[in-house]
Amino acid sequence: MSDALAEYANGLALWIGALLAMVLAHQHPPRSGARIFWWGATLGLALIAANEVFNIFDRIERAWGDDDYADLLFLCLTPIGLYAACSLEEAPRIAVRAMQLGFAFQCISDVIDLSDGDGFLFNYQIPGLEQNLMDVVTDISELIFIETYLFGLGCLLLNLLMRRLGLIGGTA
């Protein structure tokens, strides 16, 4: 698997996540807190997807410094967003578990990504792994956590639509 192909696959998955977040936003009344949250999530996911495809942060890195800072920032903000999403949507257990598992995979992926030996914050490398192999492992680990989050978002959307149709209890 080429590195560019994996980045495009991750970018596509993130664009799908942005689309799911946008659909979730439109399920709420205008100017509601939930709609604003989901529009923020849509914009955030679109930015991350654009970065994955167009390497925006790598280009900024040349001017400002290492992209490890952005990775750590996203890692720190993710649990807040996941908690808000699951709370706003009265998430079923399967969605909550998917989000928790996605965050665990994201943490593992970031440890792998930050150990690639070229980081400003973490300048070490996992012994025995070449740079090309590290790039592939990083891209695959990113795809795993992104897909897990997509499953969780899909569960949230399905749960919201089923509540709205009156197929399950809860508020819509």
For the chain, the first-to-last Cα distance in angstroms comes to: 43
User: Whole-model pTM?
Assistant: 0.82
* Distance set, CA 2 to CA 16, 106, 132 (Å): 21, 21, 9
- pLDDT confidence band for 1 (50 / 70 / 90): very low
Q: pLDDT (tens digit, 9 = 90+) per residue, 8-66?
A: 889 999 999 999 999 999 999 999 999 999 999 999 999 999 888 887 766 665 545 55
The pLDDT, as a whole number, for residue 97 is 97
Residue showing tokens 């978002």: 153
Residue showing tokens 């740079």: 131
Domain boundaries in the chain? 3-164
* Distance set, CA 53 to CA 8, 16, 50, 119 (Å): 6, 13, 5, 20
